Amino acid sequence: IVGGCVSNPHSWPWQISLRTSFEQHFCGGTLIAPQWVLTATHCLERSQRPSSYKVFLGLHHEAKKDPSLQIRDVEALFKEPDGADIALLKLSSPALINDYVIPACLPKAHTVVGGKIECYVTGWGETQGTGGEGKLKETGFPVIENKICNRPEFLHNKVKSTELCAGNIDGGTDSCQGDSGGPLVCPEHDKFIQHGVTSWGLGCAQPRKPGVYVRVSSYISWIERTIANN
Amino acid sequence: QGNLLDNYIKTEGAWILSHNKHIYKTNNPEECAEKCEAETKFTCRSFTFTSKDQQCTTLAENTKKALVLRRTNAVLFEKRMYLLECRRGKGEDYRGTESKTRNGVSCQKWADTEPHVPRFTPDSNPNDGLEENYCRNPDKDVYGPWCYTTDPKKRFDFCNIPECEEECMHCSGEKYQGNISRTESGLECQPWDAQKPHSHGYIPANLPDKDLKMNYCRNPDGEPRPWCFTTDPSKRWEFCNIPRCATPPPTTGQGLQCLAGNGDNYRGKIAITESGKTCQNWASQFPHKHARTPENYPCKALDENYCRNPDGESRPWCYTTSKDVRWEYCSIPSCEETKVEITAEAVDEQVPNTEDCYQGNGATYRGTTSLTVSGKRCQAWRSMSPHSHKKTPAAFPNADLRLNYCRNPDGDRAPWCYTTDPSVRWEFCHLKKCGDLQTVVQKPVQTTTESGTADCILGKGKDYRGTTAKTGSGKTCQAWSSQTPHTHDFFTPLTHPHAGLEQNYCRNPDGDINGPWCYTTDPRKAWDYCEIPKCPPPQYECGKAKRKQKMCPQR
């Protein structure tokens, strides 16, 4: 996360760290049910084998093994069949739900998050010198309507309807490399709903180059079907 | 054909004081609007409606003049006509407050007889709104509203009242409110509140000030012209052809030579970007092609190559003459007032978020939460937009009304704030009472849903289906289907078939923030809240962390 701040420990308890079998963090993800994690397909390019991955839950310091930490192997990988940058991981056993590990809510199918809503992204990715390395960082910014985001001044027709843009027009804060696969959540009443999966951007935190996130509401039926069938 | 309420602007949680008023009992706001239209004792400019009491109060005042107060459950409806400061057609129904002629001479009061004896008076023309010395058009003059002047040598003169943008548009049509609903190529527009065939984020409820009605062409986002999403699945959106008004656009005052706000009023001559690049002339398409032309933005003073903010950006900018850098912001010196403001805010932002709960009624709460119970952002206390109010830091110096933090300056039940949603004046905040914080949960469990018949409530108790039938003050509840001792048509088993309005059990059909309630059998007390214990906290609910988020950066 570029800009933003170090989060209160365990205040985003659905955030997971996706790691290699050697426990090296490389992507984020979101716990959406005790045994299921949502992440980005591009995070799974390094291997087709589930045993190549581990999931760390209940973490704040990237390198510390706090008592809250739970580690799970991955039992199966499910990539979105039409090639979208969204994938599901089935954990080898359900996570223990406690103060430190709580799933995020999913949106209703095809709901669109409003243009002025402020949402939050979290992760252990690059900070580009803005501090907080090694701790879970967070930052908030508004969702930008695709029509605006696709203007020549912004991302010039690169954003699909199954994606959403979010960021500050002036830049300065954004998700970045290593945050991929992690959650973009938006408050709704007293809950956080996961509306995005961190996917891509042109650089990080550049003016008029907001981050692009897979629009989760476009894939609800695939998520529900995959979980039900597996 | 539209609803009677379309003629009104609605604000939830607001109440105004007025000397001229009339109280009725009506079943719904539509009936209250009918009462307002039929008012004969005074000019009805607004009304308030409270659903629980079914109380309709028609009022002579509106928020232009009267003091606005907060009140739970009250909804204020203001007649658009009395809020408009523009004219439609000849302006016979203009009821704005312009009181100077086009030459700047003050108008004579319509009721006065000096310096000119008027032919039109409030008595002779009671329906023409001849109040004070406001410009009016009682004789349907083709040149629009006028007034008798205070200059003894000039009996009357016309006023410069801008046209409302109903038939035509000024500038880039940001305020166009007409009914054109086809694009320039003839495609029919998709209604703004629909998500098919094109899903989008221009949700009318989130943008109440943009007038996203029906499927009419609008310009909510700084485009050169009004546009709409189309009903053609292969064409997401397209511009509409709206004719330009013949009259000059409304003046917005003199431009500034320094930066204030987002700099949309900057009219200075700086033409270099913050990295030192020369700006491209706005009228030129070289080296960068663009749509921010003087023709597309006629009211934005896109002169020469001066830095400007024509499209709602955060500050003035320009296309650059460097072909590698399409655009950049400009460094414009700040106006002094803005500098003070920014400094004060920056200092305040250093205050850490140390309190996540409040004691008692929260009058001493000094934390930094700035979200309401429904997730809306708080308006800054010193700001008068979108809601003007009297709860300012100066008026309540001991209430710590900093930034947009939740506070309780007026001894209400809990910390609250005005919201940044123009349609919701205020709400209580997303804060818990200190004693109510959830306890630590250790065991893994299933998600709990808000339902069931237990005699306890989850959240606001909207799904409470228990059998408590007494209010907190010990009064027995009246059956929901009964009309004695209190007649009520708004919350009945018929009007709210899914709200569980059985027998006389406490229920919360309107999602009242204070929980279930009922009409009482005490003829002197129409309704009251019930005291129902809270259910033990669910062991986990998705999306709810046990630790509070910083939610940075706070703005």
Is it the case that residue B34 has pLDDT exceeding 60?
Answer: yes
pLDDT of amino acid B435: 64
Residue A10 is nearest to which of B443, B540, B547, comparing CB atoms? B547
Is it the case that residue B4 has pLDDT exceeding 90?
Answer: no
- Search chain A and give the residue with CA nearest B198: A161
pLDDT of amino acid B358: 84
In angstroms, what separates the C-alpha of B380 from chain A's closest C-alpha? 16
What is the rounded distance in angstroms from the CA atom of residue B93 to the CA atom of residue B109? 18
**Tens of pLDDT along B369-384?**
888 877 777 888 887 7
Q: Which residues contact B526 (CB under 8 A, 6 or more apart)?
A: B52, B53, B486, B519, B520
Is it the case that residue B343 has pLDDT exceeding 50?
Answer: no
pLDDT of amino acid B2: 52
Residues of B numbered 313-332 whose beta carbons fall under 8 angstroms of chain A's beta carbons: which are they?
313-314, 326-327, 329
- Residue B553 touches partner A, C-beta closer than 8 Å: yes
Residues of A carrying an active site annotation: 42, 85, 180
Under DSSP, the state recorded for A104 is P
**Tens of pLDDT along B435-458?**
643 222 222 222 232 333 457 887
Is it the case that residue B1 has pLDDT exceeding 80?
Answer: no
Is it the case that residue B69 has pLDDT exceeding 90?
Answer: no
What is the rounded distance in angstroms from the CA atom of residue B280 to the CA atom of residue B301? 15
- Residue B534 touches partner A, C-beta closer than 8 Å: no
Mean pLDDT of B308-320: 87
* Cis bond upstream, residue B298 (ω within 30): no
**Tens of pLDDT along A77-87?**
999 999 999 99
Pairing of strands B432-433, B357-358: parallel
Which residues in chain A are closer than 8 Å to B221, comparing Cβ atoms? 145, 147-148
pLDDT of amino acid A115: 60
- Search chain A and give the residue with CA nearest B443: A98
Which residues in chain B are closer than 8 Å to A2, comparing Cβ atoms? none
pLDDT of amino acid B25: 93
- Search chain A and give the residue with CA nearest B206: A114
Cβ atoms A16, A100 nearer than 8 A = no
Which residues in chain A are closer than 8 Å to B440, comparing Cβ atoms? 99
Which residues in chain B are closer than 8 Å to A70, comparing Cβ atoms? none
- Residue B199 touches partner A, C-beta closer than 8 Å: yes
The confidence band for A55, taking pLDDT boundaries of 50, 70 and 90, is very high
pLDDT of amino acid B119: 94
The confidence band for A13, taking pLDDT boundaries of 50, 70 and 90, is very high
Is it the case that residue B353 has pLDDT exceeding 50?
Answer: no
Residue A188's Cα: distance from chain center in Å? 18
Three-state DSSP class for A218?
helix
Three-state DSSP class for A20?
strand
In angstroms, what separates the C-alpha of B73 from chain A's closest C-alpha? 19
pLDDT of amino acid B139: 94
Cβ atoms B28, B77 nearer than 8 A = no
In angstroms, what separates the C-alpha of A47 from chain B's closest C-alpha? 30
Q: Show the DSSP H helices in chain A as ranges.
A: 146-149, 220-229
Q: In chain A, what percentage of residues exceed pLDDT 90?
A: 85
Which residues in chain B are closer than 8 Å to A173, comparing Cβ atoms? 553
In angstroms, what separates the C-alpha of B409 from chain A's closest C-alpha? 24
Residue A105 is nearest to which of B199, B459, B543, comparing CB atoms? B543
Residue A139 is nearest to which of B199, B237, B553, comparing CB atoms? B553
Max mean pLDDT range (A91-95, B357-361, B447-451): A91-95
- Search chain A and give the residue with CA nearest B546: A99
Q: For residue B29, which phi and psi values (nearest 5 degrees)? A: -65, -30
Residue-averaged pLDDT of chain B: 84
Going by C-alpha positions, the residue among A204, A152, A172 that lies closest to residue B319 is A152
Token pair belonging to B386 = 């979108």
CB atoms within 10 A of CB A17: 26
Mean pLDDT of A196-224: 95
What is the rounded distance in angstroms from the CA atom of residue A38 to the CA atom of residue A183? 8
Under DSSP, the state recorded for A116 is T
Which helix (H) or strand (E) segment is B36 a member of? helix B29-37
Contact A12 B373 (CB under 8 A): no
What is the rounded distance in angstroms from the CA atom of residue A17 to the CA atom of residue A89? 12
pLDDT of amino acid B23: 94
pLDDT of amino acid B426: 84
ipTM of the complex: 0.94
What is the rounded distance in angstroms from the CA atom of residue B156 to the CA atom of residue B160? 13
Name the CA dihedral angle for A156, A160, A163, A166, rounded to a multiple of 10 degrees: 10
Contact B444 A94 (CB under 8 A): yes
Three-state DSSP class for A144?
strand
pLDDT of amino acid B346: 34
CB atoms within 10 A of CB A157: 11
pLDDT of amino acid B438: 29
Under DSSP, the state recorded for B188 is B
Under DSSP, the state recorded for A95 is P
Going by C-alpha positions, the residue among A200, A201, A183 that lies closest to residue A192 is A183
Residues of B numbered 64-123 whose beta carbons fall under 8 angstroms of chain A's beta carbons: which are they?
none
Burial class (CB in 10 A: 0-12, 13-18, 19+), B115: middle
Task: Count residue pairs from A and B with Cβ separation < 8 A.
Answer: 135
Is it the case that residue B253 has pLDDT exceeding 80?
Answer: no
Which residues in chain B are closer than 8 Å to A10, comparing Cβ atoms? 545-547
Mean pLDDT of B505-533: 90
Is it the case that residue B429 has pLDDT exceeding 60?
Answer: yes
**Helices and strands (H and E) in chain B: how many:** 2, 17
Mean pLDDT of B194-213: 83
Which residues in chain A are closer than 8 Å to B377, comparing Cβ atoms? 118
Residue-averaged pLDDT of chain A: 94
The confidence band for B357, taking pLDDT boundaries of 50, 70 and 90, is confident
pLDDT of amino acid B387: 79
Cβ atoms B407, B397 nearer than 8 A = no
Q: Which residues contact B156 (CB under 8 A, 6 or more apart)?
A: B116, B146, B147, B148, B149
Mean pLDDT of B504-514: 89
- Choose between B438 and A165: higher pLDDT: A165
What is the rounded distance in angstroms from the CA atom of residue A19 to the CA atom of residue A23? 5
- Residue B278 touches partner A, C-beta closer than 8 Å: no
Contact A102 B373 (CB under 8 A): no
Is it the case that residue B347 has pLDDT exceeding 70?
Answer: no
